[in-house]
Structure 1
Amino acid sequence: MGTVIMHDVVSVDGFIADDNDDVGPLHEWYFSGDTPLTDEDQSGFRVSRVSAGYVRPMWESIGVIVLGRTLFDLVNGWEGDPPAGDHVVVVSHRPKPPGWHPEASYHFVDDIATAIDTAQELAGNRIVSVNAGDVGSQLLAAGLVDEVAMDVVPVVFGSGKRYFGRIDGQHLLEDPHVVIQGDRVLHLRFAVRSAS
């Protein structure tokens, strides 16, 4: 089974988007560097050399992305071509839109346990990347997340969509095992402390 990593870009005060689902300057570092993230460089992603050394192997190791219906709708499922991974699992009570990219490996499920089971089966030994926010926080609270990864951008939103959604209670993380300072971003990864 692959590692389940809850991941997103986040403001220093803990938001992944504003109240209108706008990410504002959170993703600017993805496009302001001098190093492409892919060999073909058709994606437009150009980060600092330091960030490329972290992001490129992480993205290459992702087998499946798990996300909620809100993000799917906002980005229209990346038109069936996700930025990383071969498959996408969407947690939603609504089915895939009729006729939407039938060739794309997108799987719509209606609960978080089925989402992780489906993602693990599709990913094999590769990483399952869970987007932060409401779905990510539900998975973390259910004990289904192995690591938390944050790309922290030096901006304060004040309000908006929280990285940890509406999670209840405390959830302990280990000391960060990745701390990398890129240009206009700090990459952090923490293992989730087991509840024992």
Structure 2
Amino acid sequence: MSTVVMHNVVSVDGFIADVADEVGPLFEWYGNGDVPLVEGGAMKVSRASAAYVKPIWAGIGAMVIGRHLFDITNGWEGRPPAGEHVVVVSHRPRPEGWHPEASYHFVDDVARAVAKARELAGERTVAVAAGDVGGQALTLGLVDEVAMDVVPVVFGSGKRYFGSVDAQHLLEDPHVVIQGDRVLHLAYRVRR
């Protein structure tokens, strides 16, 4: 059975974007190294980050994202950054004529979205985007692990990593602590 990992790049004060949905310096570490993340790609990171990120990305079978992320990225033009499938949590259907060949599924419920992603991912990892959808999945007990790429910047306000979670959730001690260049990779299992 697949593992469900809630993930995102995050500021040290817990934000995945500012109030205008801008990520500012959060993604700068994707270009400050000398190791390409994908063959021929523009994203180059430190050796430590590449050793961590490459196998993580290769292990993703499906992603779960919210409609807002889908809209602001235009669904990455039908080519997700990792995995073969994307499940979009939305009360609106797939846009008419939008990349009919892309394996994108629109589901109006977080629990059903995670179930669909698990089905599509098989034994591979399901990556749930942090933010409102990720926070809902965590609250529903559907997240096995929380992974953060913490960047040394303080936003002060913006889009919260855990969305609007208003209850306490215990995590285990981090089982991944890797220092990259201008990023700290952390991963925690969710305590059951």
Coarse TM-score class (shorter-chain normalised): over 0.9
User: Match of 1:57?
Assistant: 55
Secondary structure in 2 matching 1:187: strand
Match of 1:94 among 92, 107, 123: 92
User: Match of 1:33?
Assistant: 33
With structure 1 as the length reference, what TM-score do the two structures score? Answer: 0.97
User: Match of 1:24?
Assistant: 24
User: Match of 1:74?
Assistant: 72
User: Match of 2:11?
Assistant: 11
The percent of aligned pairs where both chains have the same amino acid is 72
Question: Which runs of 5 or more structure 1 residues have no equivalent in the other structure?
Answer: none
Distance 1:65 1:117 in 2: 11
- Within the alignment, does 1:112 sit opposite 2:105 as a pair? no
Distance 2:189 2:48 in 1: 22
- Within the alignment, does 1:153 sit opposite 2:162 as a pair? no
Distance 1:8 1:37 in 2: 16
Secondary structure in 1 matching 2:156: coil
Distance 2:32 2:97 in 1: 36
Distance 2:63 2:111 in 1: 15
Distance 1:7 1:169 in 2: 19
User: Match of 1:177?
Assistant: 175
Shift of 1:32: 1.5
One-letter amino acid of the structure 2 residue matched with residue 101 of structure 1: H
With structure 2 as the length reference, what TM-score do the two structures score? Answer: 0.99
Query: Across the two proteins, how many residue pairs are aligned to each other?
Result: 192
Shift of 1:15: 0.1
Question: Which runs of 5 or more structure 2 residues have no equivalent in the other structure?
Answer: none
User: Match of 2:119?
Assistant: 121
CA-to-partner distance for each residue in 1:54-80, whole Å, 9 max, x for gaps?
000000000001000000001000000
Shift of 1:91: 0.1
Secondary structure in 1 matching 2:2: coil
Shift of 1:46: 0.6
